[in-house]
């Protein structure tokens, strides 16, 4: 990439930001007001972008409208949590019924056992399960359990792995990460990861991995890589924790069955709460029984809203009334079609699309992309320019190029999105790599 092209992209991004700001005075005002009481007007870092973030007023099906009245087709799907779209009738009805029966009941309720049964029956290897409020909490609990049962302090994790706001291992790791002793390997590096696990195995409590490196670039694992992690964690006496907070949507039984890998512990979250705050961790019964309150040495696991009635009711409705196997398979088939169509277009401009099924990543690099290391040369300004140009045409994705389809996204939406990308890439020579 030449210096001239860098300057050209920067100029185009500056113009796009200005046009975005001029068209959204209400969002600008609301952001300024939020800045008076919140750092940067923000309480969720991933949603922030300059000059001020998009602010959505309402949504239905696969569409959203911002506070300035602009409508978009939502291709982001709440970073995989919005699988059901914004107004699924069965889920809305279940939430309304739960509201009528009362909130925050301070007791076991009529929903939690049913949702637990649905999850245990759905995901192989999930023999017992407990609920949390988020995927972050689920991963923290799973790793903490691994440290207790093994008596070891350390974890092994992939570079670029995101296992929650306190477990981020991209760019050298986050300074606010939970203080686990972590050793980091490259994603899909079979030999390197094997050597690292063997070297540090005596102090490893767990190896934690996403079957698709979600926030790290929507990079699929290779079967040999996950098979090796299963074998080497067992040999080292460490637990294999598979983070399916994002990837459980990739088949009716999650991503583990796609790779034929059996975790010791599995973590879940996102859409399984019907679109409300949700997390869960579970796995082998001998491990999870450590949380049985009737045991004399039971581990504590608190959380006022672990079994909140709205999430439990919404989750049940989604799994029993909406998310049939056919719906899951259709959703992921549509995602594969989108990725193929995008790659047919993007290859001409030095870009590529990655992912599996309904999870897609768009990158200003030619590929192949097998690890976070391969994304190091991507020019972030190009991603930002594509993001703003898509907004102008009525399409909403993550600024970083992330897409997670909902079941409400249609074949026509996929075709329209690809057409928008075709137009943008054709009209923006500065986007070519």
Domains, the chain, in order of start with CATH, read 3-83+326-431 (3.90.1150.10), 89-322 (3.40.640.10)
- The answer, yes or no, to whether residue 6 has pLDDT greater than 80, is no
Residue 238 contacts by C-beta under 8 Å, 6 or more apart in sequence? 146, 150, 152, 156, 197, 201, 204, 205, 206, 207
Q: Which two tokens stand for residue 280?
A: 């869960």
The DSSP symbol for 252 reads: T
Q: How many CA atoms lie within 13 A of 177 on its CB side?
A: 19
CA dihedral 127, 133, 136, 137 (to 10 degrees): -70
Q: Which two tokens stand for residue 270?
A: 């996102």
The residue among 378, 371, 373, 331 whose CA lies nearest residue 351 is 378
- The answer, yes or no, to whether residue 112 has pLDDT greater than 60, is yes
Residue 379: its pLDDT value, please? 92
What distances in angstroms separate CA 173 from CA 247, 321, 403, one per listed residue?
A: 22, 40, 24
Residue 18 contacts by C-beta under 8 Å, 6 or more apart in sequence? 51
Contact 245, 279 (CB under 8 A): yes
As a whole-number percent, the residues of the chain with pLDDT over 90 amount to 97
Gap between the Cα atoms of 410 and 425, Å rounded = 23
Contact 9, 430 (CB under 8 A): yes
Average pLDDT over residues 246-258: 98
φ/ψ of residue 156, rounded to 5: -115, 135
Gap between the Cα atoms of 173 and 158, Å rounded = 11
As a whole-number percent, the residues of the chain with pLDDT over 70 amount to 99
Gap between the Cα atoms of 90 and 318, Å rounded = 7
- The answer, yes or no, to whether residue 101 has pLDDT greater than 90, is yes
Average pLDDT over residues 14-32: 98
Average pLDDT over residues 258-267: 97
- Distance of alpha carbon 71 from the chain centroid: 24
Rounded mean pLDDT of the chain?
A: 97
Against a cut of 0.85, is the pTM above it?
yes
Q: What is the pLDDT of residues 340-383, one digit of tens each?
A: 999 999 999 999 999 999 999 999 999 999 999 999 989 999 99
Average pLDDT over residues 68-88: 98
Gap between the Cα atoms of 313 and 295, Å rounded = 29
Q: What is the DSSP string of 390-405?
A: HHHTTEE--TTSEEE-
Residue 31 contacts by C-beta under 8 Å, 6 or more apart in sequence? 41, 52, 53, 55
Q: CB-based burial of residue 194 (10 Å sphere; 0-12 exposed, 13-18 middle, 19+ buried)?
A: middle
Residue 294: its pLDDT value, please? 97
Q: CB-based burial of residue 31 (10 Å sphere; 0-12 exposed, 13-18 middle, 19+ buried)?
A: buried
Q: What is the pLDDT of residues 119-176, one digit of tens each?
A: 999 999 899 999 999 999 999 999 999 999 999 999 999 999 999 999 999 988 999 9
- The answer, yes or no, to whether residue 110 has pLDDT greater than 80, is yes
Q: What is the pLDDT of residues 283-338, one digit of tens each?
A: 999 999 999 999 999 999 999 999 999 999 999 999 999 999 999 999 999 999 99
- The answer, yes or no, to whether residue 276 has pLDDT greater than 70, is yes
């Amino acid at each position: 990439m030449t210096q001239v092209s860098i300057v050209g992209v920067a100029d185009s991004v500056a113009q796009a930001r200005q046009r975005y700001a001029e068209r959204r005075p209400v969002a600008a005002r609301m952001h300024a007001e939020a800045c008076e009481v919140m750092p940067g007007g923000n309480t969720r870092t991933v949603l922030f972008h300059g000059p001020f973030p998009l602010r959505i007023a309402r949504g239905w099906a696969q569409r959203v409208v911002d506070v300035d009245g602009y409508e978009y087709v939502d291709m982001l799907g709440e970073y995989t949590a919005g699988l059901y779209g914004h107004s699924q009738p069965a889920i809305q009805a279940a939430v309304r019924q739960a509201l009528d029966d009362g909130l925050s009941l301070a007791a076991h309720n009529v929903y939690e056992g049913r949702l637990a049964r649905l999850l245990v029956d759905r995901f192989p290897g999930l023999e017992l399960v407990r609920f949390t409020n988020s995927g972050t909490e689920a991963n923290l609990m799973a790793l903490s359990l691994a440290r207790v049962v093994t008596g070891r302090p350390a974890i092994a994790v992939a570079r670029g792995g995101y296992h929650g706001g306190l477990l981020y291992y991209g760019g050298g790791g986050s300074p606010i990460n939970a203080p686990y002793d972590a050793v980091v390997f490259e994603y899909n590096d079979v030999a390197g990861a094997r050597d690292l696990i063997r070297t540090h195995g005596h102090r490893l409590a767990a190896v934690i991995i996403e079957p698709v490196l979600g926030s790290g670039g929507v990079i699929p694992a290779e079967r040999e890589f996950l098979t090796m992690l299963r074998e080497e964690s067992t040999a080292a006496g460490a637990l294999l924790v598979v983070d399916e907070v994002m990837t459980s949507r990739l088949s009716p039984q999650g991503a583990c069955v796609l790779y034929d890998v059996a975790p010791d512990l599995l973590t879940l979250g996102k859409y399984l709460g019907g679109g409300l705050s949700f997390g869960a961790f579970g796995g082998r019964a001998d491990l999870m029984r450590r949380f049985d309150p009737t045991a004399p040495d039971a581990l504590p696991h608190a959380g006022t809203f672990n079994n909140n009635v709205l999430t439990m009711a919404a989750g049940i409705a989604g799994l029993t009334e909406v998310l049939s196997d056919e719906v899951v398979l259709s959703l992921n088939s549509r995602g594969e079609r989108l990725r193929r169509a995008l790659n047919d277009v993007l290859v001409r401009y030095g870009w590529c699309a990655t992912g599996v099924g309904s999870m897609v990543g768009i990158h200003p690099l030619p590929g192949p992309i097998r690890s976070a290391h391969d994304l190091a040369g991507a020019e972030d300004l190009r991603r930002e320019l594509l993001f703003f140009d898509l907004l102008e045409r009525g399409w909403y994705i993550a600024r970083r190029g992330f897409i997670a389809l909902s079941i409400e996204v249609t074949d026509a939406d996929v075709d329209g999105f690809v057409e928008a990308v075709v137009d943008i890439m054709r009209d923006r020579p500065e986007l070519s790599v």
